[in-house]
Amino acid sequence: MLSSISSFEIVLVLFPGFLTLLVKNGLITTKEKTGVDKIVEALAFNLLNYVIYRIDIYFLSLLGLRTNLTFDVIFILVIAISSGIIIAVILDKGWLYKFLNEKIKITNLTGRLAVWNDIFSDYRGKWILIHLIDGRKIIGWPKYYSEEPNNKEIFLADAAWMKDNGEFIDVEGPGVLITGSTIELIEILEGDKKANDKKESSNEKRARGKTKYT
């Protein structure tokens, strides 16, 4: 009986860290890690969760509020899930590495997998012009993009083929899926994608942009 209780307590103590890791990895794509790395990361998250838990419980006690086992278990699980979401957002937005780079200046890393992810995260609302290997050009808004840099794919919404004279031919349907093997280069254009575009012709919408990056 004692051994079973001890095992339950061990699982209860360690589980929140692994839950935080599971939530974080479910929301963002990260580099492949070894089993040891995952355990160390989960233990670090576990320590963070329990520090937050102890601080919150301390302030609750100052208010005269008493807790029980059920409350404690639910509370630590809520903290674990919340921590995973917050950590994922911070890493996805690059806020941590921007702080370390711009304020403290101790790294030039962004925390993302590759430049591919950096570009489509930082300039997600921009129109892009893709030059294909066969010489064709297509412009559109990158609604979806692959997060694995070794499997580059982009889905262009509001897409149109660009003719040599600068005119555009609308793509029928919701958009076009472009695979990395067909891409020669990508230009990031000025002009943001709006959720509800005004009723403009394709030529008018796309002619607003000037090339910013190649």
Q: What is the pLDDT of residue 192?
A: 67
Looking at 2.30.30.100, 1.10.357.10, 3.40.50.460, 2.60.120.330, the CATH number of the domain 115-213 comes to 2.30.30.100
Closest residue by Cα to residue 114 from 21, 25, 29, 23: 29
CA 173 to chain centre: 27
Q: What is the pLDDT of residue 12?
A: 72
Q: What is the pLDDT of residue 203?
A: 52
Token reading at 69:
């086992």
User: Beta 211-213 vs 168-170: how paired, if at all?
Assistant: unpaired
Longest dimension (CA), the chain: 81
Q: What is the pLDDT of residue 81?
A: 96
Provide block-wise average pLDDT over 10 residues at a time, the chain (214 residues). Answer: 55 87 88 85 94 90 83 91 94 84 81 82 86 93 83 90 89 91 89 48 49 38
Q: How many CA atoms lie within 13 A of 38 on its CB side?
A: 12
DSSP codes of every residue in 116-168? HHHHHHHTTTEEEEEEETTS-EEEEEEEEE-S-TTS-EEEEEEEEEEPTTS-E
- The answer to whether 169 and 137 are in contact (CB under 8 A) is no
Q: What is the pLDDT of residue 119?
A: 85
The pTM of this model reads: 0.66
Q: What is the pLDDT of residues 38-50, one digit of tens each?
A: 999 999 999 999 9
Domain ranges of the chain: 2-102, 115-213
